[in-house]
């Protein structure tokens, strides 16, 4: 299995479309390596500022990830995205298959108190392991 891990200086949520463009550019640079899975960083589209606003972008971010996975014919683990859950915001990692279908979501269980993540986000409560054509994928977020 070949995994492409993308990393860059993430721009704030007001510039989330710039992050989309950066991901596309970096993803295209990996195509010659023929990755099976592409992994994006935590809160890659918006950073951690203003989780309420970031959560409003969830559908647009997921649509971007689905298109990326389909266009490149690979699995995409979308780092994490702020999503409204149980009247709070969860830090959730989506996994998308090469057909552009959402396979799974994992909401971060162990929030980082040193950065007040527990103030802004609600913790998830279950682990996510997903059988795929490239093997079983376990999803985790940072800490």
What are the percentages of helix, strand and coil residues in the chain, rounded to 5?
35, 25, 40
> Rounded to the nearest 10 degrees, how much is the dihedral formed by the CA atoms of 73, 75, 79, 81?
80
Buried b (16+ CB within 10 A) or exposed e, 18-57: ebbebbeebbeebeeeebbbbbbbbbbbbbbeebeebbeb
pTM of the entire predicted model: 0.95
How much is the average pLDDT of 55-60? Answer: 96
Is residue 41 classed as helix, strand or coil in its secondary structure?
coil
pLDDT over 90 at 115, yes or no: no
pLDDT digits (tens, 9 = 90+) for 69-78: 999 999 999 9
**Cα–chain-centroid distance for residue 26?**
15
Distance CA 86, CA 129 (A): 22
116-140 pLDDT, tens digit each: 898 989 999 999 999 999 999 999 9
């Amino acid at each position: 299995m070949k995994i492409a891990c993308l990393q860059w200086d993430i721009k704030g949520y007001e510039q989330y479309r710039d992050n989309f463009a950066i991901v596309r550019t970096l993803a295209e640079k990996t195509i010659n390596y023929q990755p099976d899975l592409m992994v994006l960083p935590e809160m890659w589209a918006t950073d951690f500022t203003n989780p309420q606003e970031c959560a409003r972008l969830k559908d647009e971010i997921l649509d971007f990830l689905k298109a990326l996975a389909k266009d490149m014919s690979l699995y995409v683990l979308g780092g994490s995205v702020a999503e409204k859950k149980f009247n709070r915001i969860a830090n959730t990692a989506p996994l998308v298959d090469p057909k552009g279908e959402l396979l799974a979501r994992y909401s971060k269980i162990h929030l980082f108190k040193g950065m007040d993540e527990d103030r802004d986000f609600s913790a998830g409560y279950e682990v996510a392991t997903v059988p795929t054509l490239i093997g079983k994928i376990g999803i985790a977020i940072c800490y």
